């Protein structure tokens, strides 16, 4: 009986070894279209009338085709962090507040803004 068990066990080992190994599934992805937002300005004014022929897009040094150029405007979501720590003198804080108010007044109707004050040192760390 042990000879029979040994023979069966040997055949099971051979059959398992002959089975194809299971492979991990492969995930592949590709991107056919990419949206690239750009802003072309002349000072504070947008440059009007640009066409796709006036843009060059490269990917790893290889020129890509530009299919369309749109003159859409997207809403802006702006957060200003103002340094109000002791390192800022009163005249600097006043200038900072005036500049932030001017910036916020220049926003469009669909834009959003928020202001935060930083009074202490903060270190950037892992998110």
Kindly list the domain boundaries of the chain, sorted by start residue.
Answer: 77-118
68 with 104: CB under 8 angstroms?
Answer: no
Distance between CA atoms of residues 88 and 66, nearest Å? 47
Strand pairing category for 57-59 and 41-42? unpaired
C-alpha 56/C-alpha 5 separation (Å) is 74
**Mean pLDDT computed over every residue of the chain:** 79
pLDDT digits (tens, 9 = 90+) for 77-96: 889 888 888 777 778 888 88
14-41 pLDDT tens trace: 666 666 666 677 888 887 788 888 888 8
Give me the mean pLDDT over the 106-124 stretch: 79
pTM to 2 decimals? 0.42
């Amino acid at each position: 009986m042990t000879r029979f068990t040994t023979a069966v066990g040997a055949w099971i080992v051979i059959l398992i070894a002959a089975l194809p190994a299971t492979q991990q599934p492969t995930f592949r992805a590709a991107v056919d279209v990419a949206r690239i937002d750009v802003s072309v300005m002349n000072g504070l004014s947008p440059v009007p009338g640009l066409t796709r022929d006036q843009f060059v897009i490269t990917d790893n040094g290889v020129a890509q085709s530009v299919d369309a150029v749109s003159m859409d405007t997207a809403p802006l979501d702006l957060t200003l962090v103002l340094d109000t720590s002791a390192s800022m003198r009163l005249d600097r804080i006043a200038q900072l507040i005036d500049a932030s108010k001017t910036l916020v007044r220049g926003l469009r109707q669909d834009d959003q803004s928020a202001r935060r004050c930083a009074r202490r040192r903060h270190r950037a760390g892992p998110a």
